[in-house]
Structure 1
Amino acid sequence: MGRGINRLKQHIAQIKGNVSSCPKATKIDQIKCRNSLLDNRNKKKGKVDENESLRAQVNIRSSENETITIDDDLMEDSFGSIKAKRSFGPMDRWAYECAIPFHAFEKDSFKIMLEAVGQFGRGAPPPSRYEMGETYLKKEVERTINLLTPYKDEWKSNGCSIMTDALSDRKRRSIMNLCVNSKMGTIFLSSKESSDEAHTREHIHEYVESCIKEVGPKNVVRIVTGNASNNMGAAKLLKEKRQTIFWTSCATHTLNLRHEGIGGLPRLRNTVKGKAAYDMVVKATFLTGVALCLMVFTPLVKVLRMVDADRKSSMGFVYSEIQNVKEEIIIALGNNKKAYEPIMDIISKKMKGRLDTPLHLMAYLLNPYYLFKNPEIQNDIDVTDAIVDFVDTIYPGDHSLQNHIVMVELPVYMGIQENFSREIAIKGCDVNYDKFDPCNIF
């Protein structure tokens, strides 16, 4: 736009060379435009002189004028061997003035930027505000979109999950986020400020529905939300419209609610204040209570850490691990039904309809780490019901394909036949290490 304005001013000022002269321009108009062009030229020259003056103040090889000397060992760890000590001059002052987070200097992109400046040499021109806000920003957006191509291909190949989240920022604005998770990882999709709108089930459903359309209904396997009543209502609306998409609660949120419920039991809850705290901790009963808490919460926290980690998907593990937690707690409490029954009731109540859905049970069955160790899990009535519900949801009305999966493909796997019976397959599923992924075994 700037060049167009300059050409227009040259046209009115009747400056020959780049444009034709305006025959209708008055003397006053010509003088105004000539003065404006002259002012712009002087401003540019002044800017160049100012930049040269600023550059003249920088001497990274000097230790004067408040420069910071960088330690050899620190620089060697970050950038390789350094022959002589150097100082970064006014770089620190720029960072402080612009409130640059200190961890930004540890980014690889910052190191690459320094290398680019160094390769350019003295007098490297900084980008303008326009370039940063328009030209380069558009290029970066385009680059980011291209980086997402493999993720979108994965969505089409193996499906994905849409995850919702709501939070309040420092200004108390209510913000809703949507992310997409797949085997390749989680990416941010969109964000929406909803401070002026009630987070009703209709509002949440409408937002999630827009995301489903953007990702592609055929690519979405499930929706993950919190456990609030409005999310539950949105899930009901989703099931009515999108019958081939599963809804599940956030595993981390569900487990936290479970811990909160168990922590509220009379035997585990004991709040003391002030001087009473000292009197309490020196009593043997307090130490007994601490031991009880450790016995109950240690296995519970292990599952929470598993689902809250980013190392791998927990979908195929969470159901079985919760069953293992129940057994560990029962044994830790000496098979005392009066002691463990309230805990079991809370675990079952919090799991119901959240972490024991057909999707969770099917993922549990299709995890060879569990099936190969205990083939009897295929005879569990909950698992067999989940198989039917799962194929009916994924392939509604396609009875031929449903029958083929249930009667032909699944029996080969559950009977550990063909490739599943090979020693390499069985040994590969023997240990549940951090990188173990049931989807990559066969």
Structure 2
Amino acid sequence: MESELQPVPVSPQKRDPAWKHCQMFKDGDRLKLICIYCGKMFSGGGIHRIKEHLAGQKGNAATCPRVQKDVQLLMRESLVGGKVKRKKHKTAVASTNLNSIPNEIDTIFSQSEEKAGFQLIAAPGTIADYFSLLPSKEEEMPDIDSDNRKREQKVEMTSSDRRKRQEGNSSPPPTYPNAGPVDNLNLGSTKGEDAVQKAIGQFLYDIGLSLGAVNSIYFQPMIDAFSFERSSFKTPSYHDVRGWILKKSVEEVKSMVDQYKETWGRTGCSLLVDDWTTGTGRVLINFLAYCPKGMIFLKYVDASEIVRSTDALYGLLKEVVEEVGVQNVLQVITDSAEHYVVAGKRLTETFPTMYWTPCSARCIDLMLEDIGKFDWISEILENAKTVTRFVYNHALVLNMTRRYTNGKDLVQPALSSSATNFATLRSMVDLKNNLQAMVTSQEWMDCHYSKKPDGIAMLDVICSESFWSSCSTIVRITDPLLRVLRMVGSEKRPAMGYIYASLYRVKEAIKKELVKKKYYLAYWNVIDHRWERQLARPLHAAGFYLNPKFLYNIEGDVHNEIMSGMLDCIERLVPEIEIQDKITKELNLYKNAVGDFGRKMATRARHTLPADKWWSTYGGGCPNLTRLAIRILCQTCSAKVFKRNQISLKQIHHYTTNRLELQRLSDLVFVEYNLRLRQMQLQKDKESEVMDPISIDVCDIVEDWVAEKHPVVGDVGSPEWTALVQPDANTALPLSPKDEAESLVEGFGDDEIYDGVNDEEDTESQDHEEA
């Protein structure tokens, strides 16, 4: 019986670049090396044999068929460098009086070793020395866009600024005499750019900051500013960053927020209420305002003592509405918990010109969660997880899988755990052929992991056609809901004009997939249950009616539910009776496409312009209706903003009874939150960067897909992760091959979707089908 291979960590003293591209195992008393690309096992020849294998050098080892081109070139250079090094050593022994003069041979060898990341060089003595390794201002300096230049001009400190700052601080920046010099940190393992990047990495590790900080749009401008300043730059002190720098940042962010507020008179705004519980059990409520120009953070409140009291919660909501301006707020969006429902209804009684609506993203997520509880669906999800858990817990298997899927990851982190379940299932269906090609390859058969019980279980799942057939059905049922979830949480366009049509299309897609009423009705009931209890709001119906893309594609008369919602919005959002009557008359002009609404340009623009822009362009003949339409169509449907782990809870929301420090921390939250929101706004036209599925940053939503059910005790700290090939920068598979809004255009003539099916009709229908 073949003995079990035990992984052996590679000693730090082993500096040959080939060690990064193989794994070492102990087989009894012998050591064996395995190529991480093709899985070939070497029982002799040492690391040199592996290097020849990767370099494709014929002779002692077969060429690796799957090695990456850049790795192959690196191995070839290393082999050449080794020969040069030996020759250089002989020359040095013969000519000891010349050993202080660098020569071309030194340069050739250092380049080959430098690329592998193992050459030891003297570390710079100061931080300024690191920046001296960057390109000069005149050489190879990347262009900076106008926004960055403006930002740099604002934060640039003149000599007079420095004098004022020093005069404001009675004491100089603190020094730390016991701190060791920077070169003691052994940062300089490579030259130039690598040294700077390593210094940044160790700074992030030291302060415990999320490694996702490097994705910030403010990160590169900071590095650019450093490189411009070069050695003359002096790092800010602790008192600087919490003093004058924070003060100036607060002023700049408040100026930005004021620009957003200036647009509320025309477009109105949605007040978003997002509460969450910290690790210590405190309940914090964040208040934000949304308008087409962007989303801004207003403030946060520690509501630990009042959140369950509907009276206190109502009072808090009322206070914030008054601060924003009752005339500006069209709706207050909160969670759908019972205490919010009660407080929200009281709020609309107090302010009859606005709505309370539950968060659409949360409601749709609950629909997905309910669908995932169906027995046959939960069973398929569990089978799929046996594949991903095995893949994402073994470096060699994960590297192999990513090669066969061309760098695409199986696990796709989404907005929630439920969304992640179905997004990952869709990803696996798209990569079905790639996975089957992998597990039927000779490489997999030769891999020792294929003989393990979990490896055999994975093979059974991937080769099961019934599994894939069920997966495809689930994907066709849930993919429309996933697209709606992404749309309501998107910054690309206000979602109010699309949510109603989207839910119609979801039910239509399920009916088309399952055909028979007795099959699709179960899923309709899940959707209707959440829709009727939470999402059936007049604003959503009015958003559908006022979107020309949808209204002019209705087959037959407008459904009563839609028309009733439109009229309700007129009565509630427009308190003046004279204006209400004018809007009612203008509705007929819009419905019948009279005047500018019927122009050929307007007809073409229904499908190209955003709905609010369409009204701005062609609604001049109906000014009262146009104003109302723009205010409704410019609103969002969701109160969910971004992952909470992006806000540093421990420090920013730390409890303190000191009035001054509490005010400072509130300002710090204000700045940080709004800078994050600004970053989202600037990146809204880009696909969001997907985190590595095994990253701790997404563990809360992917844990069930990547964590072993029964992890081996004492296995933590194994060096196997170092064999992982770095994943692509963005491995996401798109949720839809086209823009979600473009797939909503066709007719809306299915009355069954509007009305649903009552129990008596359902019973008669099933009896008829069975007969």
TM-score (norm 2): 0.43
Q: For residues 267-346 of structure 1, what are the structure 2 equivalents within 5 Å?
A: 268=377, 270=379, 289-334=470-515, 336-346=516-526
The separation in 1 between residues aligned to 2:485 and 2:466, in whole angstroms, is 28
Question: Is the 1:235–1:247 Cα contact (8 Å) retained in structure 2?
Answer: yes
Which one of 556, 559, 566 corresponds to residue 387 of structure 1?
A: 566
Which one of 516, 530, 540 corresponds to residue 360 of structure 1?
A: 540
Q: State the match for 1:417 in structure 2.
A: 594
Q: State the match for 2:280 in structure 1.
A: 171
Secondary structure of 1:361's partner?
helix
User: Which residue identity lines up with residue 524 of structure 2 in the other structure?
Assistant: M
The separation in 2 between residues aligned to 1:155 and 1:262, in whole angstroms, is 39
User: Which residue identity lines up with residue 329 of structure 1 in the other structure?
Assistant: I
Which one of 248, 251, 260 corresponds to residue 369 of structure 2?
A: 260
Q: Does 1:67 align with 2:188?
A: yes
Structure 1 residue 223: deviation in Å?
0.8
Secondary structure of 1:172's partner?
coil
Question: Is the 1:263–1:269 Cα contact (8 Å) retained in structure 2?
Answer: yes
Q: State the match for 2:694 in structure 1.
A: none
Deviations 1:100-139 (A, max 9, x none): 5444456454444455455555454443433332222112
Using a 3 Å threshold, how does the CA distance of structure 1 residues 87 and 388 change in structure 2: closer, same or farther?
closer
Q: Does 1:403 align with 2:578?
A: no
Which one of 231, 235, 253 corresponds to residue 144 of structure 1?
A: 253
Structure 1 residue 363: deviation in Å?
0.6
Using a 3 Å threshold, how does the CA distance of structure 1 residues 104 and 427 change in structure 2: closer, same or farther?
same
Q: State the match for 2:607 in structure 1.
A: 430
More displaced stretch, 294-303 vs 356-365? 294-303
User: Which residue identity lines up with residue 357 of structure 1 in the other structure?
Assistant: R
Structure 1 residue 288: deviation in Å?
5.8
Question: Is the 1:163–1:181 Cα contact (8 Å) retained in structure 2?
Answer: yes
Structure 1 residue 390: deviation in Å?
0.8
Which structure 1 residue ranges, 5 or more long, are not aligned? 1-42, 76-84
Higher RCO structure, 1 or 2 (CA under 8 Å, sep 6+): 2
Q: State the match for 1:236 in structure 2.
A: 345
Structure 1 residue 419: deviation in Å?
1.7
Question: Is the 1:159–1:182 Cα contact (8 Å) retained in structure 2?
Answer: yes
Secondary structure of 1:136's partner?
helix
The separation in 2 between residues aligned to 1:114 and 1:227, in whole angstroms, is 44
Q: Number of residue pairs matched?
A: 372
Deviations 1:33-84 (A, max 9, x none): xxxxxxxxxx989989979x99xx779xxxx96425466xxx6xxxxxxxxx
Deviations 1:238-258 (A, max 9, x none): 122111111111111111222
User: Which residue identity lines up with residue 326 of structure 1 in the other structure?
Assistant: K
The separation in 2 between residues aligned to 1:50 and 1:292, in whole angstroms, is 67
User: Which residue identity lines up with residue 593 of structure 2 in the other structure?
Assistant: I
User: Which residue identity lines up with residue 156 of structure 1 in the other structure?
Assistant: G
Using a 3 Å threshold, how does the CA distance of structure 1 residues 386 and 86 change in structure 2: closer, same or farther?
closer
User: Which residue identity lines up with residue 594 of structure 2 in the other structure?
Assistant: Q
Using a 3 Å threshold, how does the CA distance of structure 1 residues 141 and 70 change in structure 2: closer, same or farther?
farther
Q: State the match for 1:369 in structure 2.
A: 549
Question: Is the 2:306–2:313 Cα contact (8 Å) retained in structure 1?
Answer: no
The separation in 2 between residues aligned to 1:133 and 1:200, in whole angstroms, is 36
Question: Is the 1:69–1:88 Cα contact (8 Å) retained in structure 2?
Answer: no
Q: State the match for 2:754 in structure 1.
A: none
Deviations 1:4-56 (A, max 9, x none): xxxxxxxxxxxxxxxxxxxxxxxxxxxxxxxxxxxxxxx989989979x99xx
Using a 3 Å threshold, how does the CA distance of structure 1 residues 50 and 400 change in structure 2: closer, same or farther?
same
Using a 3 Å threshold, how does the CA distance of structure 1 residues 228 and 50 change in structure 2: closer, same or farther?
closer
Question: Is the 1:262–1:343 Cα contact (8 Å) retained in structure 2?
Answer: yes
Secondary structure of 1:354's partner?
helix
User: Which residue identity lines up with residue 223 of structure 1 in the other structure?
Assistant: V
Structure 1 residue 312: deviation in Å?
1.4
Secondary structure of 2:284's partner?
strand
Using a 3 Å threshold, how does the CA distance of structure 1 residues 70 and 333 change in structure 2: closer, same or farther?
farther
Structure 1 residue 94: deviation in Å?
4.7
Q: State the match for 2:141 in structure 1.
A: none
Question: Is the 1:362–1:390 Cα contact (8 Å) retained in structure 2?
Answer: yes
User: Which residue identity lines up with residue 413 of structure 1 in the other structure?
Assistant: Y
The separation in 1 between residues aligned to 2:214 and 2:369, in whole angstroms, is 40
Using a 3 Å threshold, how does the CA distance of structure 1 residues 424 and 69 change in structure 2: closer, same or farther?
farther
Deviations 1:383-439 (A, max 9, x none): 22122211110123x2211110011x22221111222212222112235xxxx5211
Q: For residues 70-81 of structure 1, what are the structure 2 equivalents within 5 Å?
A: none
Question: Is the 2:333–2:358 Cα contact (8 Å) retained in structure 1?
Answer: yes
Q: State the match for 1:347 in structure 2.
A: 527
Q: State the match for 2:692 in structure 1.
A: none
Using a 3 Å threshold, how does the CA distance of structure 1 residues 129 and 360 change in structure 2: closer, same or farther?
same
Using a 3 Å threshold, how does the CA distance of structure 1 residues 70 and 376 change in structure 2: closer, same or farther?
farther
The separation in 1 between residues aligned to 2:505 and 2:214, in whole angstroms, is 45
Question: Is the 1:70–1:88 Cα contact (8 Å) retained in structure 2?
Answer: no
User: Which residue identity lines up with residue 551 of structure 2 in the other structure?
Assistant: L
The separation in 2 between residues aligned to 1:287 and 1:65, in whole angstroms, is 52
More displaced stretch, 198-207 vs 216-225? 198-207
Question: Is the 1:164–1:177 Cα contact (8 Å) retained in structure 2?
Answer: yes
Q: State the match for 2:735 in structure 1.
A: none
More displaced stretch, 310-319 vs 358-367? 310-319
Which one of 323, 326, 329 corresponds to residue 220 of structure 1?
A: 329
Using a 3 Å threshold, how does the CA distance of structure 1 residues 346 and 49 change in structure 2: closer, same or farther?
closer
Question: Is the 1:316–1:367 Cα contact (8 Å) retained in structure 2?
Answer: yes
User: Which residue identity lines up with residue 372 of structure 1 in the other structure?
Assistant: Y
Secondary structure of 1:218's partner?
coil
More displaced stretch, 219-228 vs 120-129? 120-129
The separation in 2 between residues aligned to 1:110 and 1:423, in whole angstroms, is 48
TM-score (norm 1): 0.73
Secondary structure of 2:262's partner?
helix
Structure 1 residue 208: deviation in Å?
1.8
Secondary structure of 1:352's partner?
helix
User: Which residue identity lines up with residue 506 of structure 2 in the other structure?
Assistant: V
Question: Is the 1:372–1:426 Cα contact (8 Å) retained in structure 2?
Answer: no
The separation in 2 between residues aligned to 1:110 and 1:430, in whole angstroms, is 38
Which one of 276, 279, 289 corresponds to residue 180 of structure 1?
A: 289
Which structure 2 residue ranges, 5 or more long, are not aligned? 1-169, 387-452, 618-771
Using a 3 Å threshold, how does the CA distance of structure 1 residues 223 and 92 change in structure 2: closer, same or farther?
closer
The separation in 2 between residues aligned to 1:68 and 1:87, in whole angstroms, is 10
Structure 1 residue 357: deviation in Å?
1.2
